[in-house]
Amino acid sequence: MLEKFDFKLHKTKSEVLRVDDALGRITCKSVYAKISSPYFNASAMDGIAVISKKTFGADERNPIILKLNQDFIYVDTGDAIKNPFDSVIMIEDVIYVDKKQVQINKASSPWQHIRPIGEDIVASEQIVPSHHKISPFDIASLLCGGITEIEVIKKPLIAILPTGTEIIEAEDKIEEGKIIDSNSRMFIAMTKKIGAKANRYKPIIDDYELIKERIVDATKDNDIVVVIAGTSAGREDYISSIIRELGEVIVHGIAIKPGKPAIIGLVNNKPIIGVPGYPVSAYVVFKQIVEPLIAEYLRAKEPKKEIIKAILYRRLVSSLKHLEFVRMKLGNVSGKLIATPLNRGAGVTMSLVKADGVAIIDKETEGIEAGEIIKVELLKDIDVINNTIVSIGSHDVIMDLIGSLIIEKHKKYSLSSAHVGSLGGIMATKRGETHIAPIHLLDEKTGTYNTEHIKKYLKNQNISLIKGVKREQGLMLAKENPKNIEGLNDLMNDDIMFVNRQKGSGTRILLDYKIKELGLDSTKISGYEREMTTHMMVASAVSSGSADAGLGIKSAATAMGLEFIPVGEEEYDFAINDKFLEEERIKIFIDVLKSDAFADELKKLEGYRIENAGSISKL
């Protein structure tokens, strides 16, 4: 990305540090030893130091007697061997005669069992080359070589300028229309992590003169300037005008997504990067533009990218015009690495928190089909990913709870949940792309849960059902039920705005079953078409007043402080292919379901009941 722009970064500064403080820093030039290590010829054994010539000719038949202080002295490992002594005999080969004499039965060759001066480092030898990152053992060698101070490349100072009238600090009181500045504080962490120094300015409002003044100021004392534009479209035009007025815009708009509206410029000969306000765009631009710029400044080797190959779980539509960075969940199921795309919204910070890697989709790619092999740059350790229990299916807040209990039980394992609805989970199980599928699927004919759907969709596979929890589903309503909703019948009322779950989710199936049972017409429900993918998103819509009612679990309603009218109790269980039942991670998952800790935590939530959780029925 960066090769195209010549930034004339030649003015790298240096500073002299105590060697102890130089961990992870980059040397400016080769460092040569001032003294040798060891500094003296040292005994490598416990024994006696002798004059080798005086031992010549000694053997079993002609032993030689040596006199203390005259022919030999006692030495311990590490003791200096000085003139006239030039050889060491191990104490095991020395025969004690009396306090002043010993006998030897073997000649000692010159310099045997002596660590010579400079065995480790000879004075004037190079210890570390230039442009070298200092490690803990480099520190040891430098100290042994008599180096206590070292010249290293000074950390570049990165100015971080959040702008936008809507921007507030996380510590301020939030209100409608305001956005918490998270970008600049994420940038501080990214800057630190790569070995530079962050200099964050307080957020300022969208005032041309004010921003201009601040940019001029920032280019004086910092090495690189990063300006974060607000999230409003066209805001970056504002920043690019200022940069053009003050210096030069090299690029405005780069063909990467998210991140497109980035600006690269020069003001006062300092690189200045305009970063879009959406957090994921901001992250991508910092990673792709600012980090390589810092690495260049530090003369460091490019930070290593670990790329793995994975099987794409579901079809990915892509843009022809941009190189796209798609955040992925990864899971190792039966030795195959499965990549599930996360929310691609540029504003969804959680897509980065949840991501195990980022797939880079080339420009001019129309899309990638499910099942194709894609390349993914890892964000997490591959060992961690390989030890993750993959869950694809229905959403419940208890999945986070189970995840925490698993980590506490065995820190090696973790749980990753993708929420695609119960039917999606069944399909993932069918294709062998998940370990477990949380499901709550009501069979209309029998009125039972889960077993009928498994029999229908997974009939030729060996599937078991791990018992989960019973949970209450019901209508979530605004506090104090201002519209006096009493049940599903009221959804027919023109005045009531509903919010729905996505097709294939167990909750959607339950809703459709119930309204059919009541003889209602779903096309008459206002908001029936508006779909959310989690219980919490539905609760949030009701809580914010954008909907009057939604169907969901009681724990979600309670979490958001909503009213709740029960509609029914359902069974939330886990479908699993039998072949996984013997894996240690699945055993730990089942242990957690059976544990008192799980039962205790469930009691703190509302709307759950436990009956044989963790028991396995073969289907």
Helix orientation angle between 208-221 and 235-246, rounded to the nearest 10 degrees: 50
For residue 16, state whether it binds a copy of itself (rule: CB under 8 A).
Answer: no
CA angle 107, 112, 117 (to 5 degrees): 150
Sign for the pseudo-dihedral over CA of 179, 183, 189, 192: negative
Nearest residue to 534 via CA among 512, 513, 556, 560: 556
Could you say which of 197, 299, 483, 594 contacts a copy of itself (CB under 8 A)? 299
Sequence letter at residue 409: K
Site for a copy of itself in 480-509 (CB under 8 A): 497
- Contacts of a copy of itself in 59-118 (CB under 8 A): 76-80, 82-83, 86, 109-111, 115-118
Least separation, in Å, of the C-beta of 301 and a copy of itself?
A: 6
Q: 24 or 371: whose CB is closer to a copy of itself?
A: 24
Whether 342 and 359 have beta carbons less than 8 Å apart is answered as no
**Least separation in angstroms between CB 18 and a copy of itself:** 9
Amino acid at site 2: L
Of positions 161, 465, 541, 567, contacts a copy of itself by CB under 8 A: 541
Site string for a copy of itself, 302-341 (x = CB under 8 A): x-x-------------------------------------
Residue among 93, 120, 569, 583 that touches a copy of itself (CB under 8 A):
120
If one asks whether residue 386 binds a copy of itself (CB under 8 A), the answer comes out as: no
Contacting range for a copy of itself; rule: CB under 8 A; set: 258-266, 317-325, 405-413, 502-510: 405-413
Given 529, 578, 584, 611, the residue binding a copy of itself (CB under 8 A)? 529
Short-list 137, 112, 116, 142, CA closest to 127: 142
Output the 3-class SS for 263-288: EEEEECCEEEEEECCCHHHHHHHHHH
Size of the site for a copy of itself (CB under 8 A): 129
Q: How many whole angstroms from its chain centre is CA 9? A: 30
Beta bridge partners of 463: 577
Least separation, in Å, of the C-beta of 122 and a copy of itself? 4
Q: Does 10 bind a copy of itself (CB under 8 A)?
A: no
Please give the Cα distance from 539 to 578 (Å, whole number): 35
Residues numbered 273 to 292 that lie near a copy of itself (CB under 8 A) are 277, 279, 283
The SS3 of residue 203 is coil
* Residue 151: other Cβ atoms inside 10 A: 16
Interface with a copy of itself, residue 518, by CB under 8 A: no
The binder of a copy of itself chosen from 13, 67, 106, 193 (CB under 8 A)? 193
What is the CB-side half-sphere exposure of residue 6 using CA atoms within 13 A?
A: 2
CA distance to 51, 70, 89, per residue, from 112 (Å): 11, 19, 8
Torsion over CA of 146, 149, 152 and 156, rounded to 10 degrees? 160
Q: Tell me how far apart the alpha carbons of residues 563 and 480 are, in angstroms, rounded to a whole number.
A: 7
Does position 414 interact with a copy of itself (CB under 8 A)? The reply is: yes
Task: State in angstroms the smallest separation of the CB of 213 from a copy of itself.
Answer: 24
Which listed residue (309, 321, 336, 412) binds a copy of itself by CB under 8 A?
A: 412
Shortest spacing between CB 618 and a copy of itself, in angstroms = 32
Site for a copy of itself in 556-615 (CB under 8 A): 559-560
Q: What is the CA radius of gyration of the chain?
A: 35
- Nearest residue (CB) to a copy of itself, 47 versus 468: 47
* Pairing relationship of beta strands 436-439 and 563-577 according to DSSP bridges: antiparallel
Figure out which of the listed residues 55, 141, 240, 340 binds a copy of itself, where binding follows CB under 8 A: 141
157 binds a copy of itself (CB under 8 A): no
Answer for which of 3, 6, 98, 175 binds a copy of itself (CB under 8 A) is 175
**Stretch 428-467: interaction string toward a copy of itself, x if CB under 8 A:** ----------------------------------------
Of the candidate residues 105, 365, 404, 502, the single one contacting a copy of itself (CB under 8 A): 404
Q: Which is nearer to a copy of itself, 369 or 383 (CB)?
A: 383
The answer to the question of residue 170 lying near a copy of itself (CB under 8 A) is yes
**At which residue do the structure tokens 């004919």 appear?**
445
> Nearest-5° angle of CA 578, CA 580, CA 583?
135
φ, ψ dihedrals at 317, nearest 5°: -85, 135
Distance of CA 182 to the CA centre of its chain: 17
Nearest residue to 132 (alpha-carbon basis) of 28, 279, 4: 28
76: which DSSP letter? -
Instruction: Tell whether residue 231 is a contact of a copy of itself (CB under 8 A).
Output: yes
| Two structure tokens written together for 424 | 């999606």
- Identify which of 310, 307, 345 has the alpha carbon closest to the alpha carbon of residue 326: 345
Q: Which is nearer to a copy of itself, 93 or 452 (CB)?
A: 93
Indicate left, alpha or beta for 111 from its phi (over 0: left) and psi (-120 to 50: alpha): left
**Cβ proximity of 188 and 198 under 8 Å:** yes
User: In the complex, what is the shortest distance from the CB of residue 544 to a copy of itself, in angstroms, rounded to a whole number?
Assistant: 4
- Residues numbered 30 to 59 that lie near a copy of itself (CB under 8 A) are 30, 35-41, 45-46
| One of 11, 57, 98, 137 touching a copy of itself (CB under 8 A) | 137
Output the smallest distance, CB 538 to a copy of itself, in A: 10
Contact call for residue 520 and a copy of itself (CB under 8 A): no
Among the residue ranges 61-69, 182-190, 253-261, 515-523, the one whose residues contact a copy of itself (CB under 8 A): 182-190
* Cβ 314 vs Cβ 350: under 8 Å: no
Which three-class secondary structure string do you get for 508-530? HHHHHHHHHHCCCCHHHCCCCCC
Which residue from 250, 384, 520, 619 is in contact with a copy of itself, where contact means CB under 8 A?
384
Of these, 125, 207, 245, 521, which contacts a copy of itself (CB under 8 A)? 125
Give the binding range for a copy of itself (CB under 8 A) out of 56-64, 176-184, 308-316, 450-458.
176-184
Can residue 180 be called a binding residue for a copy of itself (CB under 8 A)? yes
Residues 336-375 that bind a copy of itself (CB under 8 A): 345, 347-350, 352-353
